[in-house]
A and B are shown apart, each in its own frame.
Chain A
């Protein structure tokens, strides 16, 4: 089947290009953290440390070497899986690999929730375009568009944790480091809700476009029921758009996680990232971006595969 081979090579080519892009991004991030005012030595040493101690610390952190050399060494390490050491001495890999799974759990659940709810809500809106439900959905979608995560999180904590006392206000990690399930509910909602607005509008627009396709008009003339029309004739055509929307949400979900983790004291990588930026810790920041970037690359590949599968027989 030459077509399979051609399609796979195209996907790999796409992946290859994106890996290069990730490398470019890492250069940008590493350099920008380094150029921030004050450097890692000043940020992590005690106040009132003497100039000598400062110089010694800079030498220890390698800050006295040229940027290109430091970045080359770090990237070299990246290839062999060694993410270098953070400004405070712990290996970057340990810091990130402990925190990243929690953020992936939070982000993954939020993304899943967002996509499922967005598709169902968009379908409901499409059943009666322009109807009261459709207008209500687009209005609420607009509201959630604008509400930043910390606003949603504050209100959720106030209502469900402090007033109603139903859910824990804070994510408590058990000894093994995993977060109790009911402590996940509010953070996931806080990250998912701001994403809902975008995804509902996108899927709604994709459904509206697909509804104008001739084969949908033909299906209507065949007297198919509304729900069958939606599931068998509209939704398959919309999958690529849903996949694309979900993937672009990943970056935003990660951004949201950073904000929500501080409020729920959630042991994720977001908190590590903000502190790393305060500490001007280039290896740690670049390490986090590398791992999250790799994660997003995987998801992008998945979305491409979905798009390729969805348009398999039609070309």
Chain B
């Protein structure tokens, strides 16, 4: 692949200008028909680099030094009009989460037609067939909301290709595709590069895809954030004897608002032994989180009986006894929202001590230090505000806060889903250790089967609000894997992790489900 390089980048430094740079010394040359892959753990700046290539560095950051030429244009010095023309005709960018990057109100025909070079009526139809999508009128009339995850991703790709670009930038192209679709994608990208001479640069987590089609690979350095404390990964936590059942749920059902006829959860039984760890798994929308919320009393419109040590629990937390509310604690999912941004770590940790008067006033500072140590965090973090901590650190403080009340049951609602693999593993190990030391009973709600297999004894699998299977983790997971294995994954969440773009708070209107 000779001829002028489509992308020429040398000595690129990108950063906020003050403080450490996110990207340093980046060098990249991509020729026509060549596929380059940028790999590295999440949060290391892969997306930032991709966006930098078309002069769209995320707000707050800038390209400090370095040379960058794309399709023969110096991107750094380009005027807005020049840059706009470059993006319009020469470069196609396909971001992560296509469901939210396609205009929800435009139909597929308009989405493709808007960018198409050949404005003919059958242009969109040919594009769709290239991406093995039926070019039927019915599909062309649909809106993004009416497409499946895979279809949305391919329509986004089609839209990028509509302009016959010289360079294609892809951010996690294989996320959300099942094995068959990923193979097709690989074929398509290879053919685009070989036959149409399109240069492709992709940020990718999927080792398999990278190995199969990438001509060159650009690994980005390890993350600069503080290293999480962890011990070596034992194969499996050794099994402890399951104690007497501390939490019993019988015939639990739940619904939203005033529509009991469409239950989110129906007739689910739950058995949690003291000191045991049982997981709740299932595709998103199966009712996992709802079950957790019913247990901690956040979901009022629920029925069925829930007993803590034989004593009935009221569906609403406010109506439960003080001791009952102390013994069941929740660790929330989204690290961004798990701590009150206006309160220091110390204040957040002191509150449970005061509320359940776990210790006299003068001992509280000492107790806070102990809690921080228990979750593996340094003492000086106590006076920081949450926004100064990383996602992993924030989840640890949330766990410490729950421990402050010395609970018997700890409900962890997808606590690892927003963390990268290393941090997630560390959190699970921490929970396992706490369970052993304090005889805690854990309910771990997660869709990460690998972690569930490694760290829990019991598992309850849910599907469409019904209990699919329950019992020891290894047997249940094995049984379900034989039955086609797709029961537990869903179109959105791949076997790996769906990386939620860090920094973007969940949009206010997003309903909580799954």
Check A-B contact in the complex, CB < 8 A.
yes
B103 contacts A313, CB within 8 Å?
no
Q: Given A310-B105, A313-B145, A313-B146, is A222 in contact with B100 using a C-beta cutoff of 8 Å?
A: no
Contact of B115 among A213, A220, A222, A233 (CB under 8 A): A222
B93 contacts A215, CB within 8 Å?
no
> How does the 8 Å CB contact mask read for B98-130 relative to A, with 1 for contact and 0 for none?
001111111100000011000000000000000
Contacts of A233 in B (CB 8 A): 103
B103 contacts A232, CB within 8 Å?
yes
Name the distance in Å between A136's Cβ and chain B's nearest Cβ.
Answer: 22
Interchain CA distance A232-B104 in the complex, whole Å? 11
Q: Given A221-B87, A223-B88, is A215 in contact with B100 using a C-beta cutoff of 8 Å?
A: yes
Name the distance in Å between B346's Cβ and chain A's nearest Cβ.
Answer: 33
Q: A197: CB under 8 A from chain B? A: no
Q: B85: CB under 8 A from chain A? A: yes
Name the distance in Å between B116's Cβ and chain A's nearest Cβ.
Answer: 12
Q: B384: CB under 8 A from chain A? A: no
Contacts of A221 in B (CB 8 A): 51, 54, 56, 87, 93, 95
B99's nearest neighbour on chain A, judged by CB, is: A214
Contacts of B84 in A (CB 8 A): 223-225
Q: B325: CB under 8 A from chain A? A: no
> How does the 8 Å CB contact mask read for B170-196 relative to A, with 1 for contact and 0 for none?
000000000000000000000000000
Q: A51: CB under 8 A from chain B? A: no
Contact of B105 among A217, A222, A225, A314 (CB under 8 A): A314
Contacts of B92 in A (CB 8 A): 222
Interchain CA distance A198-B144 in the complex, whole Å? 33
Residue pairs across A and B with CB atoms within 8 Å: the count is 67
Number of A residues near B (Cβ < 8 Å) is 21
Contact of A222 among B88, B142, B145 (CB under 8 A): B88
Interchain CA distance A199-B387 in the complex, whole Å? 35
Interchain CA distance A202-B196 in the complex, whole Å? 48
> How does the 8 Å CB contact mask read for B80-100 relative to A, with 1 for contact and 0 for none?
000111111101110101001
B91's nearest neighbour on chain A, judged by CB, is: A223
Name the distance in Å between A128's Cβ and chain B's nearest Cβ.
Answer: 12
A223 contacts B97, CB within 8 Å?
no
B145 contacts A215, CB within 8 Å?
no
Interchain CA distance A310-B97 in the complex, whole Å? 22
Q: B143: CB under 8 A from chain A? A: yes
Within 8 A of B (CB), among A61-87: none
Interchain CA distance A227-B489 in the complex, whole Å? 42
B87 contacts A222, CB within 8 Å?
yes
Name the distance in Å between A195's Cβ and chain B's nearest Cβ.
Answer: 27
B501's nearest neighbour on chain A, judged by CB, is: A214
Interchain CA distance A276-B51 in the complex, whole Å? 66
> How does the 8 Å CB contact mask read for A205-247 relative to B, with 1 for contact and 0 for none?
0000000011101111111110000001100110000000000
Given A224-B88, A232-B114; 15 other pairs, CB 8 A cutoff: A214-B97, A215-B102, A217-B95, A218-B101, A221-B87, A222-B115, A223-B84, A223-B86, A223-B89, A223-B91, A225-B84, A313-B107, A313-B143, A313-B146, A314-B105
Would you give 30 A-B contacts (Cβ < 8 Å), ordered by A? A214-B95, A214-B101, A215-B100, A215-B103, A218-B93, A218-B95, A218-B101, A218-B102, A218-B156, A219-B103, A221-B87, A222-B88, A222-B92, A223-B83, A223-B85, A223-B87, A223-B89, A224-B88, A232-B103, A232-B114, A236-B103, A237-B104, A310-B105, A312-B143, A313-B104, A313-B105, A313-B143, A313-B144, A314-B143, A314-B144
Q: What is the interface of chain B, defined by CB distance below 8 A to chain A?
A: 51, 54, 56, 83-89, 91-93, 95, 97, 100-107, 114-115, 142-146, 156, 159
Q: What is the interface of chain A, defined by CB distance below 8 A to chain B?
A: 213-215, 217-225, 232-233, 236-237, 310, 312-315
